[in-house]
C-alpha cells in the first residue's frame, strides 16, 4: 500500500551534444628522450602535452629535426601557432636504436670535461681515469649533467679520485641512434606475446587514455614513405572501430624536385584517399625548415579555435608561419598562382605568396580530382562529416542497449534536430535534420535491435572561385549631359 505524494524521475527527453575534438594532432616520430625529465623516458606511449614546456619536459628537445622529428611539431604548434594540446608518440627506443661507445678519451680542463656527442644516455655513462682503470663513482668522484646544448659535462669533485693534475678521462656510454629508426618502427604493430602496441597502432589508445579523439594524424619526416602513408590512411578511417579523422602527409622533396612531377608521384604512390591532405613542398622560416604538413596542422587548429572547435572553415588562404618554400636540399621553390592552382587541381596543398604573405593554398583532399563528391573532395566538408559523425557516436553511446521504444526514437530525433538547428543558426552548416524512416528500418532489423536514424546535413563548401563579370554599359554616357 502507498499513501501520500511521491516523486519519480524520468530520463531527460533531450540530450546535450558531446562534441568531438576536431583538430587534436596525434604525431608519430622520434624524440631526444635522453633529455627527458621523466624517470622513464616515453617509448611507444601516447604523451598528451598542452604546452611547449610540457613537451620538452616529457620528451626533450633538440634542433636536429631530421634526427628528432617530433621536435619540429613541438616548435611549430606550440611556439609559432600557439596551439595545443598535442599527443606525441615517440618510436625511438633506446633498447634497440642505439650504439655503444667504449673507452673514448675526453679532455679535462679546469676540472671539467665535455662529451660533444648527441644522444648520450646519461645513466649508461662510465667514467675512468684510464682505459685500464676502475670505474669512478658518480657523486663521489664526479658529477655529470646535460648542458643547454644537450652535451654531457663531467665535473670533478674535490677530494675524489680525479686530481687537479688530471688532463684526460676515459668514458664509455650508450648513444641513441636515430638513423637506425625505420618506417617499420613508425608503422609499428602488435607484439604477439605481450599484446603491446607500437607505432601507428597506438592511435587506438588515445581516446581510452585521454577521452580526446584524434583529429589529425601526422608523421613529419616519415609520411612521405608510401607504406607509412597507406597505414595512416587506414588508421584515419577506423579509430577504435568507430571514429574517423584526417591524415596530413607530405610528398618527398628530395626525389620530387619539380612541382609538375608531384601529381604523378601522388597517384603512383596511392596518396588518393578522401581522409588524406597531401602537401608539397616544404616551408622555411629563417633557418628553420618545416614539412608543410606540420604547419598545416597549426593552421587547421588556429582556424578551428576561432570557430569554437567546429571544422567548417577551410585552412586555405590562411597564413603559414613561413618566409619561403624549399626542397629538401634547400633550393627555393616559388610557385605562382597558376602553378599553385595546378597543384590544387591535382589534390595537393601548396604554399602561396601572392596577396598578404605566405599562405596555405588548397581546399581539396587527396581524392580530388578523381572524386568530385564535395563530401570526399573538400577538406572542410570531409572534416565536418567526420566531426558530426564522431559527435553523434559520443552523444548517443549512453543510449546503447536502452529499450527500443517510441521514447528512445523521439529522444534521438529531437536531440539531433535541436543540435543541427543550433549549428545552422551559427552558420556552421547550411541546414540539417534527422529522420527515423520506416523504409530504412525493416521489422526484422527492429526485432534484432538495429535502429537507423538518417541524418541530412549540408556544410558550406569553400568559395573556391569568385567571379566578377565586367561589362561596359554605354547608358551611363548620358550623365555627360545636363539634365
User: Which uninterrupted H or E stretch holds 422?
Assistant: helix 406-425
Residue 157 shares a structural domain with residue 210? no
The reported pLDDT for the residue numbered 8 is 77
Residue 366 shares a structural domain with residue 418? no
The reported pLDDT for the residue numbered 164 is 86
* Residue that is written with C-alpha cell 584517399 in the block: 273
Residue 315 shares a structural domain with residue 238? yes
The reported pLDDT for the residue numbered 118 is 87
Residue 104 shares a structural domain with residue 162? yes
Profile the chain (483 residues) by mean pLDDT over runs of 10 residues: 77 75 95 92 96 96 96 98 96 94 90 89 91 90 89 91 89 94 96 89 96 97 97 96 96 97 97 98 97 98 96 98 96 96 98 95 97 97 97 95 95 96 97 97 96 97 96 93 78
Helix (H, G, I), strand (E, B) or coil at 359: strand
Residue 158 shares a structural domain with residue 34? no
Our count of domains for the chain comes to 3
Residue 218 shares a structural domain with residue 353? yes
Residue 139 shares a structural domain with residue 220? no
Identify whether 286 is part of a domain: yes
Residue 337 shares a structural domain with residue 354? yes
- CATH code for the domain of 244: 3.40.50
Length of the chain: 483
Identify whether 461 is part of a domain: yes
> Rounded to 5 degrees, what are φ and ψ at 335?
-90, 130
The reported pLDDT for the residue numbered 300 is 98
This prediction's pTM? 0.93
C-alpha cell at 310: 567546429
Contacts of 54 (CB under 8 A, 6+ apart): none
Identify whether 269 is part of a domain: yes
Q: Last residue of some domain: 176, 199, 214?
A: 176
The reported pLDDT for the residue numbered 322 is 97
Query: Strand 168-176 and strand 98-107: pairing?
Result: antiparallel
Residue 231 shares a structural domain with residue 322? yes
The reported pLDDT for the residue numbered 110 is 87
The reported pLDDT for the residue numbered 431 is 97
The reported pLDDT for the residue numbered 386 is 97
Residue 316 shares a structural domain with residue 464? no
Range of the domain at 34: 25-93+182-380
Short-list 40, 17, 44, 16, CA closest to 30: 44
Cβ–Cβ contacts within 10 Å for residue 117, how many? 16
Residue 51 shares a structural domain with residue 115? no
> Rounded to 5 degrees, what are φ and ψ at 86?
-135, 140
**How far does Cα 353 stand from its chain's mean position?**
24
| Alpha carbon distance 299, 359 (integer Å) | 9
Amino acid at each position: 500500500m502507498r499513501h501520500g505524494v511521491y516523486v519519480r524521475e524520468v530520463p531527460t527527453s533531450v540530450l546535450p551534444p558531446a562534441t568531438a575534438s576536431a583538430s587534436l594532432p596525434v604525431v608519430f616520430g622520434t624524440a631526444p628522450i635522453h633529455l627527458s625529465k621523466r624517470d622513464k623516458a616515453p617509448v611507444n606511449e601516447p604523451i598528451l602535452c598542452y604546452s611547449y614546456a610540457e613537451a620538452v619536459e616529457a620528451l626533450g628537445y633538440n634542433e636536429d629535426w631530421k634526427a628528432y622529428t617530433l621536435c619540429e611539431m613541438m616548435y611549430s604548434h606550440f611556439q609559432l601557432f600557439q596551439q595545443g594540446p598535442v599527443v606525441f608518440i615517440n618510436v625511438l627506443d633506446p633498447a634497440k636504436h642505439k650504439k655503444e661507445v667504449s673507452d673514448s678519451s675526453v679532455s679535462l680542463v679546469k676540472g671539467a670535461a665535455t662529451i660533444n656527442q648527441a644522444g648520450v644516455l646519461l645513466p649508461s655513462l662510465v667514467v675512468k681515469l684510464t682505459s685500464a682503470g676502475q670505474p669512478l663513482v658518480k657523486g663521489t668522484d664526479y658529477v655529470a649533467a646535460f648542458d643547454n646544448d644537450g652535451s654531457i659535462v663531467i665535473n670533478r669533485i674535490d677530494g675524489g679520485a680525479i686530481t687537479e693534475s688530471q688532463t684526460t678521462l676515459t668514458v664509455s656510454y650508450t648513444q641513441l641512434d636515430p638513423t637506425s629508426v625505420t618506417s617499420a618502427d613508425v608503422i609499428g604493430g602488435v607484439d604477439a606475446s605481450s599484446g603491446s602496441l607500437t607505432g601507428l597502432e597506438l592511435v587506438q589508445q588515445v581516446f581510452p587514455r585521454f577521452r580526446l579523439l584524434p583529429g589529425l594524424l601526422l608523421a613529419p619526416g616519415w609520411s612521405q614513405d608510401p607504406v607509412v602513408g597507406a597505414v595512416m590512411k587506414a588508421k584515419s578511417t577506423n579509430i577504435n572501430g568507430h571514429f574517423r579523422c584526417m591524415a596530413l602527409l607530405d610528398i618527398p622533396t628530395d626525389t620530387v624536385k619539380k612541382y609538375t612531377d608531384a601529381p604523378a608521384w601522388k597517384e603512383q604512390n596511392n596518396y588518393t584517399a578522401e581522409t588524406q591532405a597531401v602537401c608539397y613542398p616544404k616551408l622555411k622560416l629563417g633557418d628553420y625548415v618545416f614539412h608543410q604538413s606540420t604547419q598545416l596542422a597549426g593552421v587547421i587548429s588556429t582556424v578551428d579555435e576561432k570557430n569554437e572547435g567546429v571544422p567548417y572553415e577551410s585552412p586555405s588562404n590562411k597564413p603559414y608561419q613561413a618566409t619561403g618554400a624549399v626542397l629538401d636540399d634547400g633550393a627555393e621553390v616559388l610557385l605562382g598562382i597558376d602553378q599553385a592552382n595546378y597543384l590544387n587541381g591535382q589534390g595537393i596543398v601548396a604554399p602561396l605568396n601572392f596577396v598578404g604573405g605566405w599562405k596555405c593554398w588548397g581546399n581539396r583532399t587527396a581524392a580530388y580530382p578523381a572524386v568530385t563528391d564535395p563530401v570526399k573532395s573538400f577538406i572542410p566538408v570531409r572534416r565536418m562529416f567526420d566531426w558530426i559523425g564522431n559527435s553523434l557516436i559520443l552523444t548517443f553511446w549512453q543510449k546503447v542497449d536502452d529499450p527500443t521504444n517510441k521514447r528512445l526514437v523521439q529522444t534521438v530525433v529531437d536531440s539531433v534536430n535541436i543540435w543541427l538547428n543550433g549549428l545552422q543558426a551559427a552558420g556552421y552548416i547550411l541546414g540539417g535534420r534527422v529522420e527515423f524512416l520506416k523504409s530504412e528500418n525493416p521489422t526484422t532489423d527492429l526485432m534484432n535491435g538495429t535502429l537507423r536514424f538518417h541524418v541530412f546535413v549540408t556544410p558550406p563548401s569553400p568559395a573556391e572561385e569568385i567571379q566578377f563579370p565586367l561589362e561596359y554599359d554605354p547608358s551611363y554616357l548620358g550623365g555627360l549631359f545636363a539634365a
